[in-house]
Amino acid sequence: MTALGAEEIRTRVESDFNRIVDVLNQKIALQSISAKGITADHMKRSAQFVADLLREVGVDTKVVQSHNPDGTPGAWEVIGSKNVSEDAPTVLLYAHHDVQPVPDPNVWNTDPFVGTEIDTRLYGRGAADDGGGIAIHSGALKALGDDLKVNIKVFIEGEEEMGSPSFIPFIEEHRDEFASDVIIVADSGNWSAEIPSLTTSLRGNTDIDVHIKALEHPVHSGQYGGPILDANTLAAMLISSMYDANGDLAVPGVASEEPVGGLQRDMDEATVRADAGIVESYRLAGTGSLAARLWTKPSVTVIGFDAHPVEESFNVISPETTFRLSLRTAPNQRPEEAQEALAKFMVEHAPFGAEV
Ligand SMILES: [Zn+2]
């Protein structure tokens, strides 16, 4: 039993490359938009396509419909397995076959549902997320062929873009089909188009709603403005108190981490700026490597704010308001613990003794 050399793998992948691109083109054309109906026929067809595809590379697949926690029918999922030896470890391959909707095709440079190659990149809805994941699994299994040394299980989900409402009941119903030593989730980004990556940890996510109150009822700003700050201003003060002068989050108890093992190279700021569409004058907040700021340090985003719309606003001091903070937590911190620390900070830093 000789190990498969990198050269041999490269040759096999290259000879399979056109097939993989064709798989992506077919996948894009399927328009597997889960937002148009998780249980609908087009999603079943999409699952069937993926099941057939993986069967071609030796995985015994089937399409099964999940059930939501309330018992109603859920997504069309693909599960399957390929066994090479009872003694070999088992690897579960994950991807999802549903894609995001296309609210406005006019903002696309190409037809969203026709795979279009431009400068060696393939454009189309779901070409990367997560047709790319399906293509990776299919291509890897094809390249390894009979040289595969691990048992394989697959789970290709049909409702990831909808927040996976039937995920937990589905796992509980199919425990054996999920039993594995390692899970490979092919649904995250690469370091860059040139550098492929393995993501071994991600930030967690939690949120809190903060209610801040200064007055029992609204009052006129001409009469009371000055000593009484409006709730929006108080909320803004409270929000900004989470940051130090450099723009680093400074909330005690909310953990911050550095990448495990350190960094050989940082992310390219120009690429990050271009990808995110950052305006030229904006200086990036925080200190330390960009990779740590994006992946291992916590971050807070105000994702909702109950304030009066500018249209129809009038001269009144708003008595109270609510805002929602979404917190990305360091990979090794329990989100509950970070959530509690953030909530405690909010209460303790109420500006001017406002009720929080
Ligand atoms: Zn995805």
Q: What is the pLDDT of residues 112-134, one digit of tens each?
A: 999 999 999 999 999 999 999 99
- Cα torsion for 8, 14, 16, 21, to the nearest 10°? 150
> Long-range contact list for 108-113, CB < 8 A, 24+ apart?
112/28, 113/28, 113/29, 113/31
Are 263 and 289 a contacting pair, CB within 8 Å?
yes
- Band the pLDDT of 1: cuts 50, 70, 90: very low
**Where, residue-wise, is CATH 3.40.630.10 in the chain?**
6-185
Nearest partner of 167 among 268, 96, 242, 61, judged by Cα: 96
- Band the pLDDT of 159: cuts 50, 70, 90: very high
Q: Helix, strand or coil for residue 5?
A: coil
Å from CA of 187 to ligand 1 middle: 5
Q: Which residues are catalytic, by number?
A: 98, 160
User: Is pLDDT of 309 > 90?
Assistant: yes
CA distance 24 to 5: 27
CA distance 210 to 106: 38
Q: What is the pLDDT of residues 231-290, one digit of tens each?
A: 999 999 999 999 999 999 999 999 999 998 888 889 999 999 999 999 999 999 999 999
- CATH no., domain 6-185: 3.40.630.10
CATH class of 204-353: alpha beta
- Band the pLDDT of 61: cuts 50, 70, 90: very high
Mean pLDDT of the chain: 96
CA distance 111 to 114: 5
pLDDT of residue 2: 61
Å from CA of 159 to ligand 1 middle: 10
Paired tokens of 285: 């907040």
Å from CA of 308 to ligand 1 middle: 35
- The pair phi, psi for residue 118, each rounded to 5°, is -130, 120
CA distance 191 to 35: 29
**Where, residue-wise, is CATH 3.30.70.360 in the chain?**
204-353
Å from CA of 264 to ligand 1 middle: 27
Residue 158 CB: number of other CB atoms within 10 A? 29
